Structure 1
């Protein structure tokens, strides 16, 4: 038996369908379908039909035991029928999952794992609605005034086409993991984005669209440490000297 066959049987039983009924929906003989609940793996075209019929992604069907999480409480993306591991409460309201500093380290490998997401802490914010939200911890000083004690709450974007030049986003990418940056499209290169820091000592860098795994648009933020009025002034003076040092270094190279 395989994870896929267990998932297939679970989905059929949960939907109250017989093997014959599912086989009819998939337009295959019942005997052939029965083998898929046993030891035979379906061909790709049939696997795609099964995925679309049950509204569950192929990746989850093949790799994750969906009996381990509350399946009916998981949201789905529109149109493409991919199961998105973001939970809702009993009233259908989105809960904001908090990616803590500890969970951040495993997010790159666990972001698509419903069990990983299920174990994240959650909060609700009454002024956020009609979206899928997640909060991420900030590292470093590249995006002042946010610092290591800040969290950015982002709204999930399904399409890169929805990215607006000059706005800030939390981005999960294959090479960088989680970063919070101000994004711009590279002129004449729609498949490349420029990631800018608000702290000018950090130079912009390029990220290809196919390297981006998730993107979350900034909607609000919160800090877990009291902000001191002098901090921003000290930071600016420090940045000025660092920038001056970099410029002098560049002049020497020239």
Structure 2
């Protein structure tokens, strides 16, 4: 039997509906519906759409994910007919936070919607993070001081880009990589973000390139933050600000 046939059998049992009832709802005979559950035939596109609407589960989930492993009451549904995020807890009931290590950060771009890939990630639990789906991502570079290499930013999954708040920081998962930036504004085409290090210019991230958005929840530093690094960053920012002021004064004159 296929994943699809197992899924529709599982969903029907969960709804405590008969094959006859489902057949009536999607305007086919009970016998024809039974062939789909038994895996003896595959439904055409128009029936896939009807089944998706009836069970309130996207077509890609019906066809590719074993829903018995991810109870629908424990998942965060993603927009645009995309894959689900399992909401999992450990044996004590704490929310499990998957950790995306630096070496797996590029692989995440292709595996972020693969439950098996996500299940293979290491994880931790933080008792003060509740009521949401959280994931930890590695900080990279010096664009967001004091977070440097060795820091993990724990983000809370953002279900709707309309919930972005000006001045807050977010992890954007895009087709080009994982970036941690401060949000300023948005339009129909993209989001405008900036780095806390003024050396880097603000820029726009196009919505068509965004896979996921995670709101800053907390940070975990795996390396001691040295005072000299902070002083260096302060001096660097001071010179950058001075350069900006000189540029502005020239423009005015």
TM-score band w.r.t. shorter chain: 0.7 to 0.9
CA drift of 1:177 comes to 1.9
Does 1:229 find its partner at 2:227? Answer: yes
Q: Structure 1 unaligned runs (5+)?
A: none
Output one character per residue of 1:116-140: Cα deviation in whole Å (capped at 9) or x when no partner.
1112222221212211111111111
- Look up the SS of the partner of 1:214 in the other structure: strand
Could you tell me the TM-score, scaled by structure 1's length? Answer: 0.80
Output one character per residue of 1:82-115: Cα deviation in whole Å (capped at 9) or x when no partner.
7622332267653211111122121111111111
Task: Say if 1:78 and 1:115 are closer, same or farther in 2 by CA, change over 3 A.
Answer: closer
Matches of 1:76 and 1:191, distance apart in 2: 25
Q: Which residue of 1 aligns with 2:197?
A: 199
CA drift of 1:21 comes to 4.1
CA drift of 1:70 comes to 4.6
Matches of 2:53 and 2:83, distance apart in 1: 11
Q: Which residue of 2 aligns with 1:88?
A: 88
Matches of 1:64 and 1:138, distance apart in 2: 31
Q: Is 1:173–1:214's contact at 8 Å kept on the other side of the alignment? A: yes
Matches of 1:6 and 1:119, distance apart in 2: 24
Q: Structure 2 unaligned runs (5+)?
A: none
Task: Say if 1:27 and 1:79 are closer, same or farther in 2 by CA, change over 3 A.
Answer: farther
Q: Which residue of 2 aligns with 1:29?
A: 29
Could you tell me the TM-score, scaled by structure 2's length? Answer: 0.81
Q: Which residue of 2 aligns with 1:214?
A: 212
CA drift of 1:167 comes to 0.9
Q: Which residue of 2 aligns with 1:51?
A: 52
Task: Say if 1:36 and 1:210 are closer, same or farther in 2 by CA, change over 3 A.
Answer: same
Matches of 1:53 and 1:91, distance apart in 2: 35
Q: Is 2:134–2:156's contact at 8 Å kept on the other side of the alignment? A: yes
Q: Which residue of 2 aligns with 1:106?
A: 107
Task: Say if 1:203 and 1:58 are closer, same or farther in 2 by CA, change over 3 A.
Answer: same
Q: Which residue of 1 aligns with 2:140?
A: 139
CA drift of 1:74 comes to 4.2
Range 102-111 or range 9-18, more displaced: 9-18
Task: Say if 1:118 and 1:73 are closer, same or farther in 2 by CA, change over 3 A.
Answer: farther
User: Paired residues, what number?
Assistant: 246
CA drift of 1:145 comes to 0.4
Q: Is 1:74–1:84's contact at 8 Å kept on the other side of the alignment? A: no
Matches of 1:8 and 1:240, distance apart in 2: 61
Matches of 1:46 and 1:190, distance apart in 2: 33
